[in-house]
Amino acid sequence: MLPIGSAAPDFRLYSTPDQQYSIQDFSGRNLILAFYPADWSPVCGDQMSLYNEMLQLFRKQNAVLLGISVDSKWCHQAYTQSRNLHFPLLADFEPKGAVAKAYGAYDQKEGQCERALYVLDDSGIIRWHHLSPPSVNPGADGILDALGKINSKR
């Protein structure tokens, strides 16, 4: 994973067939990047549903959440609708896993993202990260702690 205190690499990825996002789109906001293996997997579903429920708490910390996997924008669109998610899922689809690789969050053997979390401050600096085994939902406590530390320094 990338070192704490380093600038997060920027990217531009599709969320829907006609909408893209980059880190620069969220300048002035803290950013949570949740890399996850795949839409429709049980642990990923639990993790994304938990984060969907936590959105108000993230927003109170001036934070935006982005989910990232190697699934396509079409798959993300269907998954978002099925799960009633209210945050963007980004398609690191082609070149496959390029953003995950840049963040040290790509499982080459499986051809999918690792279950990795990054919290960036409002300047795009990495302030916290965490890597979980694929079968473990990392929850939200670490994210909330990291956001609290960022905001307490203001």
Instruction: Please give the positions annotated as active site.
Output: 44
Q: Would you call 114 helix, strand, or coil by DSSP?
A: coil
Nearest to 106 by CA among 38, 40, 45: 38
Looking up tokens 């496959």, which residue turns up? 96
Q: Whole-angstrom Cα distance, residue 3 to residue 54? A: 26
5 backbone φψ class: left, alpha, beta (φ>0; ψ -120 to 50): left
Strand partners of residue 5: none
Backbone Cα Rg of the chain: 14
Nearest to 27 by CA among 15, 10, 13, 48: 10
